[in-house]
Amino acid sequence: MQKINPKKKIFKEQTQKQQPGKEHKMDPVPEFDDQLPGSLKLAGKKCVITGGDSGIGRAVAVAFAKQGADVAIIFRKSEQQDALETANYIEEKFKMKCFLITSDISKENNCKQAIDEVMKNFKQIDVLVNNDAVHYPVNDISEISEKQLTETFAVNIFAMFYLVKASLPFMKEGSNIINTTSVTAYRGSGGLIDYSATKGAIVSFTRSLSANLMDKKIRVNGVAPGPVWTPLIPASLDAEKVAVFGTDSPMKRPAQPYEIAGAFVYLACSDSSYVSGQIIHVNGGEIVNG
């Protein structure tokens, strides 16, 4: 077993027994709002965010609302408390709408139904953020079961196909699709083989979809975070690894979710009007040349 240097610990040792993890049970709770004023860069926009109940998704939902957008959050049933906290924060602090949709996005029909619910409430979709993901660390590829492999691909990449297909009929010229990939897509991860494979697929999906939708003037980009303090960490790593999570990055720490959200705002607004098919690397200084 790897020995943990106590001097490097930045979090308390903690674990959660199942995925997805719960943000309200983390210590410390992730920082999802930079507390800076918005500038209405997304005024009037209607945005859909998968996994928007917690982690990066919550920070993106808050950042979008701060910029004047209404948001719809698609989340798993077990994440009801985190989702309600996110919605209450957005509606009370920014006076924007936050519509909650419970769905298992690993199934195509569920994705269609979720987008139908969005349209009933918002009548349009300006930004689709494909963010939800799972990962299950293993020491050896032989430990990756067919069930795990199928779930990881279904949630992490198949769902993106399903949601894009369901959303495109309601997206107009100037709309944006933003996909969350990972630094592991570029450097790999010996303990996250199936997860990293899905994240590599997301990079190719982003570039290919961008080319496919260029004539429709719908931009497609991605964000590749490095280590981020989200519920996925205590829900998938053992307590000792959680305590030193992110200390191997060049900045010697993980990001807080709000530090990732700005990249999504940039890609969702007109500031990035000449950007498509690209991946923004928000990874604490790791050079990936991708």
Instruction: Tell me what percent of the chain is helix, strand and coil, each rounded to the nearest 5.
Output: 45, 15, 40
CA distance 52 to 73: 5
Active-site annotation holds for 195: yes
Backbone angles phi, psi at 128, to 5 degrees: -115, 120
Whole-Å CA distances, 166 to 90, 151, 175? 26, 20, 14
- From 186, 195, 258, 274, active-site residue: 195
Q: Which amino acid is at 109?
A: N
Which is it for strands 98-102 and 70-75: parallel, antiparallel or unpaired? parallel
Q: Is 129 exposed, middle or buried (0-12, 13-18, 19+ CB in 10 A)?
A: buried
The pairing of beta strand 219-225 with beta strand 98-102: unpaired
CA distance 180 to 57: 10
Decide: 124 and 46 in contact? Cβ < 8 Å. yes
Query: Residue 19 carries which side chain, given as an amino acid letter?
Result: Q
Only one residue has tokens 């990939």, namely 181
Residue 285 — left, alpha, or beta (φ > 0 → left; ψ -120 to 50 → alpha)? left
71 in Cβ contact with 65 (< 8 Å): yes
Residues labelled catalytic:
195
